[in-house]
Amino acid sequence: MLFSLLVLYGEIAYFFQLDFKFFDTIVSFDGGFIISNFLVIFVFGYFMLTVYFGLFSFKLTSWYELYPKHTDPGSMIWSATLLARLIYPPCFNFLEISQI
């Protein structure tokens, strides 16, 4: 919950051009290659998890729903295209918030 509030405050700070250096500090952390990359992957993974959980939770009146072992190919293709198309906006948002 605390991390979600930090992301929300980061979004608000970016929108109103306030000085919020939390994500910039994580990206520029100099703790070695593995630790620095793990921190960035964790933060970016949280961004992606929240975005895609919200998007794939929508049920379009039983069209394009994903069911374990019962999903038709059209629904799988639709979900894959949605996933591929929507990877760029969260990436750009993460780069803008972290001020890279």
Rounded to two decimals, the pTM is: 0.65
pLDDT of residue 59: 67
- In a 13 Å sphere around the CA of 11, the CA atoms on its Cβ side amount to 9
Alpha-carbon distance of 1 to 21, in angstroms, equals 19
Per-residue pLDDT tens digits for 3-59? 888 888 888 888 888 887 777 777 777 878 888 888 888 888 888 888 888 777 776
| Residue 82 and residue 58 in contact, taking contact as beta carbons nearer than 8 Å | no
Domain map (residue ranges) of the chain = 2-97
Return d(Cα 47, Cα 86) in angstroms, integer.
12
In what helix (H) or strand (E) does residue 51 lie, and over which residues does it extend?
Answer: helix 33-56
Instruction: Label residue 83 by pLDDT band (50, 70, 90).
Output: confident
What confidence score (pLDDT) does residue 61 get? 55
52-71 average pLDDT score: 72
